[in-house]
């Protein structure tokens, strides 16, 4: 694909070399994300940030990434505060808002809605999560984190690694996109740990098997996490269930805590989660008692979101070669940050 001017709607639109290019540009963004330098390469550009579902990381990190490149952010949060609540179509909303923005990041509760919006948009649109369907920028930052964690533990790279995906694999859009992304890599083993009712959709399992990934399905946490390099827990996506009572049947089914980690995981197994983790009593799929475990990568993972989203912006807006030209050192105190 050509990055310049493209929508980012599904992880399926990428080839492996494009993923490697995004990761290379993400590495280039470190001095800016880590506040050693600032750049004004997107001075004057406007990001339309439209999040019609709750979000902390995706919404704020897309905004920060754009600000760190010198651009401005216009936010619309909540359907109730947009004219969609008055019956305006996604088509009309896209035609109008794409006249006000240079690029749009969007989250919406319905599968396929961001693509529908993009087809009417006059500027590139990035899918920040559409229902239970996909979350492509999350998969990119997840794999970027996986690569860095593996390399820091002596692996050569992504090929040949083993991961356990745990929890709500039916409704979890981050794991849908991540599984599709893994099909671009060789000799990967994926343990899928979920209750029967929340298994990974069959078409995604088939896609992984066709790509010659080793896929092992089970409903046992202890079995799934025993021989992997990475555990990736997910929250029960209660907003996608028909009732809270139904969601409650599964909350707390799989709880990874320090005792279980010590007993069943290999030493230095990386612990990941797209976040938010559900820390309420009765859930705790990733216990707070893991917070001091150096293998807990969830906050490094969230930090990576800024780097990867900066990379997407400079590639899509075709300024990757000008980032350094429009930069200077920061003036304020930044040492304690990273
Ligand atoms: N990982 C993720 O999508 O988090 P938010 O819902 O906070 O954006």
Q: Smallest Cα–Cα separation from 2: which of 178, 143, 124?
A: 124
Mutate to test the pocket of ligand 1, among 53, 75, 128, 138 (most ligand atoms within 8 A of CB): 138
Sheet strands (E) in 143-275: 162-166, 189-193, 214-218, 230-233, 270-272
Domain spans, the chain: 11-134+304-329, 136-299
**Residues with C-beta less than 6 Å from any ligand 1 atom:** 55-59, 129, 138, 274-276
Name the strand (E) or helix (H) holding 103. strand 103-108
CB 41 within 8 A of CB 67: no
Ligand 1 centroid from CA 203, angstroms = 24
Peptide bond into 276 cis (omega under 30): yes
Mutate to test the pocket of ligand 1, among 51, 52, 54, 57 (most ligand atoms within 8 A of CB): 57
Cα–Cα distance list, 17 to 1, 23, 27 (Å): 10, 10, 15
What pLDDT is stored for residue 338 in this prediction?
A: 62
Mutate to test the pocket of ligand 1, among 127, 129, 168 (most ligand atoms within 8 A of CB): 129
In ligand 1, which atom is closest to the CA atom of 129?
3
Choose the CATH number for 11-134+304-329 among 3.40.50.1370, 1.10.3720.10, 3.40.50.1980, 3.50.50.60: 3.40.50.1370
What pLDDT is stored for residue 333 in this prediction?
A: 87
Mutate to test the pocket of ligand 1, among 52, 58, 138 (most ligand atoms within 8 A of CB): 58
- Rounded to whole angstroms, the Cα distance separating 236 from 248 reads 9
CA angle 91, 311, 131 (to 5 degrees): 40
In ligand 1, which atom is closest to the CA atom of 274?
1
- Rounded to whole angstroms, the Cα distance separating 108 from 123 reads 18
pTM, to two decimals: 0.97
Ligand 1 centroid from CA 65, angstroms = 15
In our burial notation (b when 16+ CB lie closer than 10 A, e otherwise), range 215-243 reads beeebebeebbeebbbbbbbbbbbeebee
User: What secondary structure does DSSP assign to 249-281, as a single string?
Assistant: TTTTSS-B-HHHHHHHSPTT-EEE--S----ST
What pLDDT is stored for residue 335 in this prediction?
A: 78
Q: Is the dihedral of CA 156, 267, 255, 281 positive or negative?
A: negative
CB 272 within 8 A of CB 298: yes
- Rounded to whole angstroms, the Cα distance separating 188 from 229 reads 11
Q: In what order do the strands lie in the sheet with 46-51?
A: 72-77, 46-51, 103-108, 125-130
Ligand 1 centroid from CA 36, angstroms = 26
Which residue pairs, CB below 8 angstroms and at least 24 apart, start in 179-182? 179/204, 179/205, 179/207, 179/208, 180/10, 180/11, 180/12, 180/134, 180/139, 180/204, 180/207, 181/11, 181/14, 181/19, 181/139, 181/140, 181/143, 182/143, 182/208, 182/211, 182/213
What pLDDT is stored for residue 337 in this prediction?
A: 67
11-134+304-329 and 136-299 agree in CATH topology: yes
In ligand 1, which atom is closest to the CA atom of 54?
6
- Residues of the chain with pLDDT > 90, as a percent, come to 96
Ligand 1 centroid from CA 55, angstroms = 5
Ligand 1 centroid from CA 78, angstroms = 15
Nearest CA to ligand 1 atom 5: 55
Ligand 1 centroid from CA 100, angstroms = 25
Q: What is the mean pLDDT of each run of 10 residues along the chain (338 residues)?
A: 97 98 98 95 98 97 98 93 92 97 97 98 98 97 98 97 98 98 98 98 98 98 97 96 94 96 98 96 95 98 98 98 97 78
Ligand 1 centroid from CA 128, angstroms = 9
Q: Specify burial of residue 321 (Cβ count, 10 A radius: 0-12, 13-18, 19+).
A: exposed
Choose the CATH number for 136-299 among 3.40.50.1370, 3.40.50.620, 3.40.640.10, 3.30.300.160: 3.40.50.1370
What pLDDT is stored for residue 241 in this prediction?
A: 95
Dihedrals phi, psi of 281, to nearest 5 degrees: -55, 135
Q: Smallest Cα–Cα separation from 65: which of 77, 47, 52, 53?
A: 47
Q: Smallest Cα–Cα separation from 232: which of 218, 240, 221?
A: 221
Nearest CA to ligand 1 atom 6: 55
């Amino acid at each position: 694909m050509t990055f310049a001017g493209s929508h980012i709607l599904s992880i399926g639109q990428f080839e492996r070399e494009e993923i490697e290019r995004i990761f290379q540009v993400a590495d280039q963004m470190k001095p800016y994300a880590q506040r050693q330098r600032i750049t004004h390469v997107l001075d004057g550009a406007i990001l339309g940030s439209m999040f019609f579902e709750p979000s902390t990381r995706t919404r704020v990190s897309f905004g920060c990434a754009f600000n760190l490149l010198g651009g401005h952010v216009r936010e619309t949060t909540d359907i109730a505060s947009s004219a969609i609540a008055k019956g305006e179509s996604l088509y009309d909303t896209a035609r109008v808002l794409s006249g006000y923005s240079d690029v749009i990041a969007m989250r919406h509760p319905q599968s396929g809605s961001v693509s529908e919006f993009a087809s009417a948009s006059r500027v590139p649109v990035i899918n920040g999560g559409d229902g239970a369907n996909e979350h492509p920028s999350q998969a990119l930052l997840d794999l970027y984190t996986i690569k860095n964690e593996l390399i820091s533990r002596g692996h050569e790279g992504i090929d040949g690694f083993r991961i356990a995906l745990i929890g709500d694999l039916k409704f979890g859009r981050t794991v849908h996109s991540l599984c599709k992304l893994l099909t671009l890599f060789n000799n990967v083993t994926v343990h899928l740990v979920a209750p029967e009712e929340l298994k990974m959709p069959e078409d995604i399992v088939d896609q992984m098997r066709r790509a010659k990934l080793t896929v092992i399905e089970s409903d046992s946490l202890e079995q799934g996490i025993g021989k992997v390099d990475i555990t990736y827990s997910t929250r029960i996506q209660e907003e996608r269930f028909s009732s809270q009572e139904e969601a409650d049947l599964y909350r707390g089914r799989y709880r990874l805590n320090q005792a279980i980690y010590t007993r069943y995981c290999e030493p230095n197994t990386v612990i990941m989660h797209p976040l938010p983790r559900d820390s309420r009593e009765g859930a705790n799929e990733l216990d707070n008692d893991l917070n001091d475990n150096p293998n807990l990568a969830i906050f490094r993972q969230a930090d990576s979101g800024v780097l990867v989203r900066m990379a997407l912006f400079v590639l899509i807006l075709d300024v990757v070669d000008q980032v350094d030209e429009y930069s200077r050192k920061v003036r304020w105190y930044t040492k304690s940050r990273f």
